[in-house]
Structure 1
């Protein structure tokens, strides 16, 4: 039954509330097809309008039409089965990582971008809302091998100031992380960056995004849980850091050795007793 429901969900971008509905249907489809939209909303812990919007996202006029379409998945002698949803979510992430691996069959694109960003001083890195975590992780490691990485994770005038300051200091590129749901302010920041003369590279979830960039690095996000998981975009970001490190090997070696001396002198890390 879950496989049949997956056919309805495939390729759909669901909100967190809609994912709660999808998960309830996956777990309880045999009983859910007899529930009203109000009852389903109560069981899934969402509002009744959320159930209606969920049905419309799947291409139906309303919940009654969706319920009618789901009934053949239950009625007809099929043996109910309940997969472990948490394991299925991890399986989906493994598939996403395989997708990234396949795109690296020809590494020339990310190698070229790594070389370009390694030579960009300063290097502004943008990430707002949910994308700020991945942008921060990228910047944390990139700073170990790059002399001037400028992290931009706050919006408003502070973001505009950061873009202008980076451009005045000689930046030629902006690396942006824009994961769904795509923040409108981040998209506007790309337009500002373009007006300032910056070229743009974006780490995102798919090639066909509603904004423009000179380079798009796409890695699917996990959509099986209430909130997206970002294992594949994180792996892609770390590959880009590796490409930057390889592009300037002498600088990378010198900076990493200096960093290790500093952390040892300051006793930054606790040594494992083994």
Structure 2
């Protein structure tokens, strides 16, 4: 077992391109696989991102040094090690050192691009998976028809999921006569859901992105208990919120950066909107024509 000084020297030689030809597996890919096993909090992702960007140096830092460089507490580093499946930081560091010393290749590192490019690559993969799911569009078409027929239609998105819900509700109001947006949890959400059902609504479209809010699960259960059916757009086909919904559309989220990105869930939302427009083309045409007239009359938008 080399001393830390010897290990650092060996790692330095590897990064300068002097490694043996047979040691050319990409360590960054190994780290991503290691860290992607569990859904990490934003703070833990900062640690993961630092280790990816500073391999092999980071593999030989102490828990105190990692905490100082990332700007987190020492317990956060220890919890991060546990979150990715290790008994503690020493066990994780041993794994990091084995990756840094055994598989690093300057050429592989060059080919992988930077972290922003890796984030784009991950989203491309999510979109490719969604494309395969759309090979059988029947469920999207069927739910789009149900959402179009539900009057009122409630759209639910709490905490970080609110942005997706707001996008969907904004567009849906152009083609649907009564869309009710719920972005506050607790009793406010409960009131809105109960009122929607009392007014004749039959469906709720809910968005639940990680980290999944307890309030979302509670609201979905209230909706179901009230007699509403729930279509859920989320990142996991399994889990408490998915189990509580009637229909689940699972799409991958980009998790390479500190905060998630939502290319695939955004496209899923757009696909459901398309299905709603196709479900009642006459109503869609009439409402869009009317909106174009009003927007032109009041100059909502800049002229091209």
Task: Verify same fold: TM over 0.5.
Answer: yes
- Give the Cα separation in 2 of the matches to 1:150 and 1:75: 56
Equivalent position of 1:34 in the other structure: 60
Of 135, 138, 149 in structure 1, the residue corresponding to residue 165 of structure 2 is 135
Shift of 1:77: 6.8
Q: Is 1:198 matched up with 2:237?
A: no
Structure 1 segments, 4+ long, off by >3 Å, are none
- Give the Cα separation in 2 of the matches to 1:250 and 1:84: 48
- Give the Cα separation in 1 of the matches to 2:175 and 2:95: 55
Deviation per residue, 1:2-29 (Å, 9 max, x gap): 0121221233201111111111111111
Equivalent position of 2:3 in the other structure: none
Structure 2 CA distance for partners of 1:129 and 1:77, relative to 1, 3 Å: closer
Equivalent position of 1:217 in the other structure: 249
Give the TM-score normalised by structure 1.
Answer: 0.96
- Give the Cα separation in 2 of the matches to 1:216 and 1:204: 7
Of 64, 83, 92 in structure 1, the residue corresponding to residue 90 of structure 2 is 64
- Give the Cα separation in 2 of the matches to 1:243 and 1:79: 48
Gaps of 5+ in 2: 1-26
Equivalent position of 1:265 in the other structure: 297
Contact 2:186–2:219 under 8 Å retained in 1: no
Q: How does 1:130-209 map to 2 (within 5 A)?
A: 130-209=160-239
- Give the Cα separation in 2 of the matches to 1:50 and 1:233: 30
- Give the Cα separation in 2 of the matches to 1:77 and 1:116: 53
Equivalent position of 1:44 in the other structure: 70
Equivalent position of 2:274 in the other structure: 242
CA RMSD of aligned residues (A): 1.1
Equivalent position of 2:17 in the other structure: none
Aligned length: 272
Give the TM-score normalised by structure 2.
Answer: 0.87
SS in 1 for 2:204: strand
